[in-house]
Amino acid sequence: MPALKRYESREALRMTNDWQWSREAEGALLGSLILLADKPVAEIHEIKDEWFYLPEHQIIFRAIYTAATRYTSWDLVILRNTLKEMNALEAVGGVEYLVKLGEATPCTANLGYYFDIVKSCYHKRRLASIADNTLNDLHQPGSVIEKVGHMHTALQSLEQEIAGAGVIEVCKAIDTVDFSQETFVSTGFDCIDRRIYGLGKGDMIVIAGRPSTGKSCLLLNIATNMASAGKHILMFSLEMRAKQLMQRMLCTLARVNLKDALNNRLTKAQRADLEYAKTWVREHRLCIDDTPLLTPDRLRAQITRFTRSETVDAVFLDYLQLMQNPRYQKTYEKVSDISRNIKILANEFNLPIVVAAQLNRQVDDREDRRPRMSDLRDSGAIEQDADIVMLLHRKDTDPENTTGHTDLITDKNRRGEIGADPLVFLGPHTVFVEP
């Protein structure tokens, strides 16, 4: 991580642009609006032209807003004519600059992310302006109480503006609400989809169990099912290397015994099945990051990097308690902060994050060994932050009884009922199936 810049004075800090604006975010926000000209964009009514630092960007946004409110559908030609009517086309760099804005936009799906960056920079500039005005006010006549009052009024106004940005007027937004199941992504398991409807945007879904109960396997099965349905998947593996996961994936797809494959005991037909499985993998999008020292900051950076270049439909993490967090020494605080960050990321990027988690040993001391949500190891924050908590209960605890019968216990479900659904673990093929 590069060292932070050190500024010897407030004036030196004010001369930089690092903190008060982002050319890339402003350009991407305007470019997204231009590329989405034929679609209704709700955010356009929330943006203010003063949010943009560059005067030409302020003018372009005013023209975009005028075109969007004047016409039900508009395009680059209408935007150019609107700027000509404002006598501002040449001032903003002409049509060439408008085209460049669209071409330089990484992904219109990230419009909300660009929106947040531009808005945040604007609020920082407002705060800096309040600080400057307060310092200037110190040299003017008047009591300290009056000067504090001026500063307090300005800060309160800014605070209300920031807080009010997240408030939704229900009467205006109610028509956007629907109950279509298209908003959820299927897991490929009918029993799970019936229980939780699938993975929802902004969901933090925890799949927990004791060691060797199949947490990693179920995560990989769901990820593979989603990739098979054409979804783009990003998986973070802290427990196994990417090569091990790919070996498991190929054996699952080919229905080949993993042990036989590792010991080179495959028949000619099985080798052909593995090659066919490789062909399947080449045609689908599943990315694996096996960085061992994964922190919340690196997780955010990697998701940001991937979502800039392409759509990500779901993130998988195996597993939560193996993540690092240098900010905290105590395990409880470390895991609590990691859990909180995962939920924030799910909301921020508006995508589901499916997390494997470890259960503590109390489960083994229980006569029926049936897990509960309170058995989540190291922190109670996990069960508070999660939208869905599912617990794996393998019934074949007796080494002589390896039937693979498993209960997937949904112990927390913000969308509906809790309960248990049966699965069968096929160990040789490292796959869960529904009986």
Query: DSSP secondary structure string, 143-174?
Result: -HHHHHHHHHHHHHHHHHHHHHTT---HHHHG
CATH architecture of 182-433: 3-Layer(aba) Sandwich (3.40)
pLDDT in tens, 247-291: 888 888 878 877 887 888 878 888 888 888 888 878 888 888 888
Res 312: pLDDT: 85
Same fold yes or no, 10-171 and 182-433: no
Res 353: pLDDT: 93
Rounded to an integer, the average pLDDT of 370-393 is 82
Q: Which of 44, 51, 28, 37 is nearest to 108 (CA)?
A: 28
**Domain boundary assignment for the chain:** 10-171, 182-433
Res 15: pLDDT: 42
Q: Which CATH number fits domain 10-171: 1.10.860.10, 1.10.150.20, 3.40.50.150, 3.40.50.300?
A: 1.10.860.10
Determine how many CB atoms are found less than 10 A away from the CB of residue 380.
14
d(CA 330, CA 381): 14
Mean pLDDT across the chain? 80
Identify the DSSP state of 42. Answer: G
Whether the pLDDT of residue 328 is over 80: the answer is no
Local confidence band at 428 (pLDDT 50, 70, 90 cut-offs): confident
Q: Which of 53, 21, 55, 28 is nearest to 43 (CA)?
A: 28
Q: Which residue has the higher pLDDT, 170 or 338?
A: 338
Whether the pLDDT of residue 6 is over 50: the answer is no
Rounded to an integer, the average pLDDT of 351-374 is 82
Rounded to an integer, the average pLDDT of 311-319 is 87
Whether the pLDDT of residue 354 is over 90: the answer is yes
pLDDT in tens, 160-193: 777 665 566 676 667 766 666 567 888 888 888 8
- Calculate Rg over the CA atoms of the chain: 27
State the Cα torsion 192-196-200-204 to the nearest 10°.
-90
d(CA 397, CA 380): 26
Identify the DSSP state of 208. Answer: E
- Residue 319, preceding bond cis, omega within 30 degrees? yes
- The overall pTM is greater than 0.85: no
pLDDT in tens, 52-91: 988 889 999 888 888 888 877 788 888 888 888 888 888 8
Identify the DSSP state of 179. Answer: -
Res 355: pLDDT: 93
Residues ≥6 apart with Cβ < 8 Å to 229: 185, 186, 188
Whether the pLDDT of residue 16 is over 60: the answer is no
239 included as an active-site residue: yes
Res 18: pLDDT: 58
Q: What is the DSSP string of 395-431?
A: S--STT----EEEEEEEEETTS--EEEEEEEEGGGTE
CA atoms 258, 263, 264, 265: torsion sign = negative
Residues ≥6 apart with Cβ < 8 Å to 224: 188, 249, 252, 253, 286
Res 396: pLDDT: 62
pLDDT in tens, 23-32: 888 888 888 8
Query: What's at 148, amino acid-wise?
Result: V
Least confident of 213-222, 236-245, 365-374: 365-374
Q: Which of 386, 364, 361, 383 is nearest to 374 (CA)?
A: 383
Query: What's the token pair of residue 151?
Result: 């500063």
d(CA 108, CA 114): 9
Q: What is the DSSP string of 341-402?
A: HHHHHHHHHTS-EEEEEEB-THHHHSSS----GGGBSS-THHHHH-SEEEEEEES--STT--
Identify the DSSP state of 5. Answer: P
Among 43, 161, 239, 333, which one carries the catalytic annotation?
Answer: 239
Q: 313 near 226, Cβ under 8 Å?
A: yes
H or E stretch at 280: helix 268-282
pLDDT in tens, 136-146: 888 887 777 66
Bridge-based pairing of strands 431-433 and 419-426 is: antiparallel
d(CA 3, CA 375): 41
pLDDT in tens, 94-119: 888 888 888 888 888 888 888 888 88
CA atoms within 13 A on the CB side of 352: 28
